[in-house]
Structure 1
Amino acid sequence: MTALVNYEAEVAVLGAVLVDGTLIKDLELEVKHFYHKNHQLIYRSMQKASEQQEFIDIPVVTTHLGKAIHEVGEVSYLLKMAESVATTVNFKHHERLIKDAYRIRKGREAALKYTSNPSEEGLDALIKNLQHFREEGANRQEKTTYDYLIELTEEMYASDGPTGFMSTYQELDDMTGGWQKGDLIIVAARPSVGKTAFALNLAASHCKNGDAATIISLEMGSKQLLQRMTSAEARVNGQKWRTSSFSEKDYQQASLAVGEISNWDLTIFDKKRTISEIRYAIRGQIHQNPDAKHIIIVDYLQMIIPAKQYDREDISIGEMTREIKLLAIEMEVPILLLSQLSRGVEARHNKRPLMSDLRGSGNIEQDADLIMFLYREDYYQKETDKADVMEVILQKHRNGPVGTVELGFFKEYGQFVGRG
């Protein structure tokens, strides 16, 4: 039975917005939907801040509340609400609970008014009011099965190629169909194999198509990543950044590369550590440029600080991959999540990664739409006829084939090239 008032849901929604201010753009609530007077005042202040394009946090909300801060329970009440939020994943569910309670309250008011003075006209008015409250408080309805079938048919006839975002590596694109909106894509390898270099090449390819790439780096700073991208684009040996032994040709090619990169729709965050901060950054990028074709790269999973501590690492990792997958679906963007592999790989004769080598593999496998392992034979064997070859092993593909694609990898530049 739905309660007339849902205090916990109101606190959960307001606390979520205080934690991640971009969430207010996804809410369909009005001030009247809140039952408690102090919550109405807080939400109205949040709306004002949003209308003025301000960054919503506790100090901003406090400023907009003004003297009313005393009515809502002082700043300590806002802090308490924010601290009560372990995750914002369920904030849309809490929004629905608030609307459910609102509809029940309004329906009860209308029914009591009718029972105090029943009549035929009153009954008609009651039915009309109940229908109005039902529609007014409801969330936007999900599409029907028929709507989706029509949409699929239209897309099928309108499509003239793959539906995803191309990587520019033809053989890889043929297998994946491109990076699909809403997909969680895992790119995993042992340290120093080339995960970050691969991700930077994918971001560069996406930007060259005129699209938007966001990189959230938990391991390297923005300057270091841009150095690596410049080396790959200019074909300048990455070691030269340390020795400053550039040739005249290096200077010319690097200058051209820097000029090109400066025109890309590329954003790098290197100070986001928690899952909440990462989620906030991604939401902000999508809301700032909603019409762009975004890809998101997070480097890397095991360095993310979870919302809460668990006794087992696999549970912690599972919580984070689930949140990132839900965010990919909600924001309708592909998210490439880099991951380390366990040392178990080193104990085998065949060093090619297996699904069991993923740290927290069961949870990652469940949430991921695509899992790719990177493997280089010359990482383990100095004398090999496969020098400068990177195997991209598609181990799981929820909606397509699996297999191995070979790419050329010039380590000195951090550059990947197709071998077709």
Structure 2
Amino acid sequence: MSEIRAIGISRSDDEGVEALPHNIEAEQQLLGAILTNNDIYDRIASVIDERHFFDPVHARIYEVAAARIAKNALASPVTLKAFLEDDPGLKELGGPSYLARLAGSAISSFAARDYAQMIHDLAIRRALIGLGRDISAKAARVAVESEPKEQIVEAEQALYKLGEAGQSGQGFQSFLKAVTDAVNMANAAYQRDGGLAGISTGLVDLDKKLGGLHKSDLLILAGRPSMGKTSLATNIAFNIAKTYRRGRRPDGSEGAVGGGVVGFFSLEMSAEQLAARILSEAAEVPSEQIRRGDMTEGEFRRFVEAAKALEACPLFIDDTPALPISQLAARARRLKREHGLDVLIVDYLQLVRPATAKDSRVNEVSEITQGLKAIAKELDIPVVALSQLSRQVESREDKRPQLSDLRESGSIEQDADVVMFVFREEYYKEREKPGDHDLEAMAKWQEEMERLHGRAEVIIGKQRHGPIGTVELSFEGRFTRFGNLAKAWQQGAGEF
């Protein structure tokens, strides 16, 4: 491989076509600077890695140098010679003496970051050109199974990945990097109030059980109608959005350091209905009174004040019905790109459409749950998806739901990291009211109703990284609000 001196786009002599944008001199001088002063590596490590180098030999030199520096060992032309002297690409450039020539052409340390940024930007341009060619080739190939709409979604997904990560594909990563990420996450949890690794739901006991909502997790929140699935989801969304604070994270990046930006796909209710529920909770005015406009002057004032306070909440609602999973993913990517996105909520799973019609409903739901899990991993956010339960719950004496009650349960149960059920025994007990003539049964029923009034359970039926069990919450039906339940020993202290 002969040395190429080129900046930007050059012509390839033998092929007569435009070569990809690159700058060999910048790569040589930056590598030379690192080999003469290893401290420079710390300044540029966050900007580039070996994948950004155009010349594969330069990529290997950088990789070996970075590995040695990470071990606090010297990376110089002499120390790297032992690792690279048998490299066939280096032999073509003159062997180990090329390393000495690199050191001779080193730039001054203050310019290193600018050179690294230039190499990074040229790598992105090359990736964009490759992506453009792929899109063009796919569009030119007219095939029945490849619809133009699907190609647009695929192209948008690939562009999003490139924009977020600065590379078209991550591929394998070393175990060292994975371990470092795990230690950083544990450190962030240790330093955070309450010791949560994930985003707080605002419900203390639920946070303790889950450790917050974890990035890249798919959480299923299931229940029968009238149990309060949507209410709990809107409560969690509101709690996260109202505590949003932006700042510098422990890893040095900018983003949410408290709460988060929430995206809410409401496929069942309109955005106005959802907003009314959230306002009902915030203003403590019953939602049916808000709908009818039947409010006292004090209640209306509270309602308006709550609306003003919530104006700045980073809660985004999309109420488009029957969205295909591919469109849902594309809109989530767009939201993250434009406004940021820390938590995504989908209400509810069975109303999402598969990208293509399948031969059975089980296969369709499987595609949807796999798609939601893929969104969680790709955008690195928790995805909370609501789900309906089958009617077989109603036929049992004990109405508490279990994993087998999930509709098309196989795929949902398999793909989810956490499965939770909302259960309010009060709802069922209310419908068992005995006749007025049976005084003994009536007294027993009233006693049971008093015990169950204002209580709800979230049953954690599956948790991939933690314990299962039941969390008790308070429930105020008038405001459709779930809250922390005061324990008996807390009553005197007034802790909630």
Superposed displacement of residue 264, structure 1: 0.2
**Does the residue aligned with 1:29 lie in a helix, a strand or coil?**
helix
TM-score of the two chains, using structure 2 as the length reference = 0.59
Paired position in structure 1 for 2:290: 241
Structure 1: stretches of 5+ with no match in the other structure: 1-25, 43-71, 97-136
Cα distance between partner residues in 2 of 1:278 and 1:346? 32
Cα distance between partner residues in 2 of 1:362 and 1:226? 34
**Does the residue aligned with 2:201 lie in a helix, a strand or coil?**
coil
**Does the residue aligned with 1:359 lie in a helix, a strand or coil?**
coil
Cα separation, partners in 2 of 1:225 and 1:156, compared to 1, 3 Å: closer
Aligned: 1:148 with 2:182: no
Superposed displacement of residue 327, structure 1: 1.0
Cα distance between partner residues in 2 of 1:331 and 1:221? 25
- After TM superposition, the runs of 4+ consecutive aligned structure 1 residues lying more than 6 A away are 33-36, 76-80, 89-92
Paired position in structure 1 for 2:207: 173
Cα distance between partner residues in 2 of 1:41 and 1:361? 36
Superposed displacement of residue 195, structure 1: 0.6
Q: Give runs of aligned pairs for residues 33-44 of structure 1, distance below 5 A.
A: 39=136
Paired position in structure 1 for 2:338: 288
- Quick check: 1:86–1:308 contact (8 Å CA) kept in 2? no
Q: Give runs of aligned pairs for residues 292-331 of structure 1, distance below 5 A.
A: 294-331=342-379
Q: Give runs of aligned pairs for residues 126-145 of structure 1, distance below 5 A.
A: 139-145=169-175
Paired position in structure 1 for 2:462: 396
My pick for the range that moved more, 375-384 or 77-86, is: 77-86
Paired position in structure 2 for 1:186: 220
Cα distance between partner residues in 2 of 1:167 and 1:27? 40
Superposed displacement of residue 79, structure 1: 12
- Quick check: 2:153–2:327 contact (8 Å CA) kept in 1? no
Paired position in structure 1 for 2:326: 276
State the Cα deviation string for residues 273-316 of structure 1 (Å, max 9, x = none): 211221111111111134x6x11110001111111222321111
Cα separation, partners in 2 of 1:415 and 1:399, compared to 1, 3 Å: same
1:406 is matched with which residue: 451, 465, 472? 472
Cα distance between partner residues in 2 of 1:393 and 1:237? 27
Cα distance between partner residues in 2 of 1:361 and 1:77? 35
Cα separation, partners in 2 of 1:194 and 1:139, compared to 1, 3 Å: closer
- Quick check: 2:264–2:344 contact (8 Å CA) kept in 1? yes
1:283 is aligned with what amino acid? R
Cα separation, partners in 2 of 1:250 and 1:27, compared to 1, 3 Å: farther
Cα separation, partners in 2 of 1:35 and 1:402, compared to 1, 3 Å: closer
Paired position in structure 2 for 1:259: 308
1:264 is aligned with what amino acid? C
Superposed displacement of residue 248, structure 1: 1.3
Cα distance between partner residues in 2 of 1:196 and 1:234? 18
Paired position in structure 1 for 2:198: 164
Cα separation, partners in 2 of 1:81 and 1:353, compared to 1, 3 Å: closer
Paired position in structure 2 for 1:197: 231
Cα distance between partner residues in 2 of 1:204 and 1:33? 39
State the Cα deviation string for residues 56-81 of structure 1 (Å, max 9, x = none): xxxxxxxxxxxxxxxx69xx999965
RMSD of aligned C-alpha atoms? 3.1
What percentage of aligned pairs have identical amino acids? Answer: 31
- Quick check: 1:186–1:371 contact (8 Å CA) kept in 2? yes
Structure 2: stretches of 5+ with no match in the other structure: 1-123, 245-259, 431-444, 487-496
**Does the residue aligned with 1:30 lie in a helix, a strand or coil?**
helix
Cα separation, partners in 2 of 1:356 and 1:333, compared to 1, 3 Å: same
Aligned: 1:226 with 2:323: no
TM-score of the two chains, using structure 1 as the length reference = 0.69
State the Cα deviation string for residues 150-170 of structure 1 (Å, max 9, x = none): 332344345322110001211
- Quick check: 2:185–2:197 contact (8 Å CA) kept in 1? no
1:269 is aligned with what amino acid? D
Superposed displacement of residue 87, structure 1: 8.1
Higher RCO structure, 1 or 2 (CA under 8 Å, sep 6+): 1
- Quick check: 1:182–1:333 contact (8 Å CA) kept in 2? yes
State the Cα deviation string for residues 128-179 of structure 1 (Å, max 9, x = none): xxxxxxxxx9844532111222332344345322110001211111110000
Aligned: 1:374 with 2:422: yes
Superposed displacement of residue 416, structure 1: 1.1
- How many residues align? The count is 319
